[in-house]
Structure 1
Amino acid sequence: MFFRNLTLFRFSPAVAEDLSRLDEALGEHRLRPCGPLELFTKGFVPPIGRGEEAALTHAVKHCTWVSVGGEDKLLPAAVVNDELYRRVQKIAEEEGRKVGGRERKRMKEDLLNELLPRAFVRSSRMSAYVDRQHGWLVLDTSSRKSAENALTQMREALGSFPAVPLAPEEGPRVLMTDWLANGTLPAGLTLGDEVELRDPGSNTGAIARCRRQDLESEEIKEHLRNGKQVFQLGLVFDDRISFVLGEDLVLRKLKLLDVVTDELADSAPDAAAELDARFALFTLELERLLGKLEEWFGLPRPKDA
């Protein structure tokens, strides 16, 4: 269950207290199957286990794991438009008349109602957890839109959930550029083997993406001397977690290294117990990393009103 990407939000201590009712609140917003004429449904699914009896939250100490699920009907616009075109052409040939805009719109609505019940359904889920002690909402996605959609689902379930995007006091792009150019990385942080450098002067400026690259090489230094800045940087924290940090403070390609995963016991009695152990280990490791991100970039926790 280890997350691969992290989009982060913060919330205040008062909001953390309100999250004690999370399990009860989510119960009324459980994912239901798509109806015959619905394009999609959203709701919460059990993070561990399946079925109506499975809990919608899973807590280990001060961290609570939730999972936002969805069902989407697969009905490509090209399929609908092709079938609509054939029907319009048939009317023109058999009745000798053109189909007007209003009639075409009605025909398209009828066609959707006809095709939707037979469309395939694609299921999806996104894991997330809340750290009530430190005020973090952590979502397993690098997409801001997907993260906002999941946050909307939580707000609808709770009635209110004022989690806010990160507001760094230190500019991530400037700070990461300094780390790479001058080797001034904080203690415990080392360079990985991936970087994205851009000319910040314009949206059409030159971009250099390097992977499996020595980031201390002369090639990288030349890009920096030419004025490029770091937009994404591969990093390793305490030789335990590797990730690519973006200037948007999204962590991508997150991976717990072998020294961490080797700490997992091999004697879990079942799959649920193994997931529980993995979640406990994962949140413990992230607690240390997120604390350092807060320190490095100045990421204040919102205060209570």
Structure 2
Amino acid sequence: MWFKQVTPFRLLELPEKRYLDESLGNSWFTEPQGLDWFSEGFTPPNAFTDLAVFEAQKTMLISLMREEKVLPSAAIKHKLDEQIIKIQAHEGRNVGRKEKQELREAIIDDLLPKSLIKSSRTYGLFAGEWLFVDTANRRKAENLLTKLREALGGLPAQQPLTRQSPSALMTNWLLRGEAQGLFVLDSDVTLVGAGDVAPKVKISRKDLTAEDVVQHAKNGMTVTELGLVWNGRVAFILTQDLTLKRIQWLDVVQEEAEGSCDDAKSMSYATQLLMEAALSAILGELVDLLGGWQE
């Protein structure tokens, strides 16, 4: 499984595989019961293990499952309107705000056990000094981190804060017309201006060295997202908090994975290793270009 988005966290200490497995196994997923709106817990991250961790060399893949009950607001309103009409017809009185709320809560309690279920998973990959979470949604990434800390009794992880801001580096690259290191400019950029009502410009599928594109930065706008290609292997959008969005694993990487496998399990193993190697290299190089970690 190739991650399509990544929110990275810096690990100050990597948990041992056995401890991680045991701890997450004690926080196993169970379906939401009765009047519970949702349930969260850890599950096997793929079909090739019954444990909480799928290990490939020194990398560890985990999965947090969430199931939530879905009650369409229109269905609740329909039931509520029906009951209000019955009360008005049979008792000849109006229904006040407090009684409406009580009726609504009773309807929800009645419908919850019969509601539809919406399922989702958030994956995390432990690799050296990194925890890569397969989402660009900061809230979902932080939620996985919170659940890990609850299960493990703590996890020394933090947002990757560098000496130079990623926005400043990306703006400089746009002004120069080229990136540094193994990075090259791709074809997407988002810039914002200053002020209380900041203007925003989003450009897609265009030559980023074109004068009309660069002029936005010359006029004082700051780059918040920048399309990049790393080492001819991975294309992505870099954001101002080092999140990677819209990741594309280019043909050369996919072919390396396929060429080293003879079944689905070995493919999953190879994918995990290649993905970790690229993500660690990308983030490591970015941190170096950004002057290292904030102390």
Does the pair score TM above 0.5?
yes
Report what 1:46 is aligned to.
44
SS in 2 for 1:300: coil
Deviation of residue 17 (structure 1)? 4.5
Contact 2:4 2:248 in 1 (8 A): yes
Q: Give the 3 Å change call, closer, same or farther, for CA 301–269 of structure 1 in structure 2.
A: farther
Which of the residues 238, 251, 260 maps onto 2:253? 260
Q: Does residue 273 of structure 2 align to residue 280 of structure 1?
A: yes
CA distance in 1, matches of 2:256, 2:221: 40
Q: Structure 2 counterpart of 1:46, which letter?
A: P
Q: Are the structure 2 counterparts of residues 284 and 267 from structure 1 closer, same or farther at C-alpha, using a change threshold of 3 Å?
A: closer
Distance, in Å, in 2 between the alignment partners of 1:30 and 1:301 is: 36
Residues 1:215 and 2:208 aligned together: yes
Sort the Cα spacing of 1:277 and 1:267 in 2 relative to 1 into closer, same or farther, 3 A: closer
Tell me the secondary structure at the aligned position of residue 40 of structure 2: strand
SS of the aligned residue for 1:263 comes to helix
- Could you tell me which of 14, 17, 38 is aligned with 1:16? 14
The Cα of 1:184 is off from its aligned counterpart by: 5.4
Q: Any gaps of 5 or more consecutive residues in structure 1? A: none
Find out whether 1:297 has 2:284 as its counterpart. Answer: no
Residue 119 (structure 2) pairs with residue 126 (structure 1): no
**Paired position in structure 2 for 1:161:** 155
- TM-score w.r.t. the length of structure 1 is 0.90
Find the aligned partners of 1:7 and 1:70 in 2 and give their Cα distance: 19
Instruction: Please list the CA deviations of residues 66-122 of structure 1 after superposition, one character each: whole Å capped at 9, or x if unmatched.
Output: 011111111123322332133123212221122234433322222112111111111
Alpha carbons 1:11, 1:301 under 8 Å: kept: no
Quote how far apart the aligned CAs of 1:269 are.
Answer: 4.0
Q: Distance in 1 between matches of 2:84 and 2:234?
A: 58
Matched, 1:94 2:87: no
Letter in 2 for 1:5: Q
Aligned partner of residue 101 in structure 2, secondary structure:
helix
Q: Which amino acid in 2 is paired with 1:103?
A: E
2:212 partner SS: helix
> What does residue 60 of structure 1 align with?
56
Runs of 4 or more above 6 Å deviation: none
Q: How does 1:139-288 map to 2 (within 5 A)?
A: 139-183=133-177, 185-202=179-196, 204-266=197-259, 268-288=261-281
CA RMSD of aligned residues (A): 2.0
Count of residues paired in the alignment: 295
Return 5+ residue gaps in structure 2 as ranges.
none
Give TM-score scaled by structure 2 length.
0.93
